[in-house]
Amino acid sequence: MLKQVSIYAENKKGCFQNITGILRQNDINILGSVTNDSAEYGIIRMVVSDPEKSIEVLRKADYICKTTPVLAIECPDEVGAFDKILKSLYESNINVNYTYLSFNRKSGLPIMVMHTDDVYAVENILINKGYNSVAECEE
């Protein structure tokens, strides 16, 4: 199970770069991310090399942030691989709240990072269907 960092940030010029700059200055690598915005604020979700340190340095910079467990499933780099994962979840009556892409630095394979209502149960379902769960996205 991975820990994702979620950052609530003002939707204004330079804000995202300020966050990435803070992470860079603290030697934290961004391994995957997705942003969702609204008119005034957005949520930046990231898998990073050091979630705890990320929370610490971002909070010091007055960002509201938290960690959330997310599921990371390795999938073959081929047409339809993500569809097969989603079909398996659909057949198990599982809703996926959001996804984004990273990759396993050891194997070079894509990793679908996803959030569901019960990531631990979904992880077991997918492992039983032959998928590999990734515990951390190493650099």
Mean pLDDT (whole number) for 12-39: 91
Partnered with residue 43 across adjacent β-strands are: 8, 36
pLDDT at position 36 is 82
Specify whether the CB–CB gap between 28 and 48 falls below 8 A: yes
Residue 26 DSSP code: T
Q: What does the mean pLDDT of the chain come to? A: 90
11-20: list long-range contacts, CB under 8 Å, 24+ apart.
11/37, 11/38, 11/39, 11/40, 11/41, 11/42, 16/44, 18/61, 19/44, 19/58, 19/63
Residue 20 in contact with residue 30, Cβ under 8 Å? yes
pLDDT tens-digit readout, 56-73: 999 999 999 999 999 999
Nearest 5°: CA angle at 132, between 35 and 111?
A: 25
Residue 54 pLDDT greater than 90, yes or no: yes
Instruction: For 104-138, write each residue's pLDDT tens digit.
Output: 888 888 999 999 999 999 999 999 999 988 876 55
The helix (H) or strand (E) run that includes residue 120 is helix 119-128
pLDDT at 137: 57
- Residue 72: predicted pLDDT: 92
pLDDT at position 38 is: 73
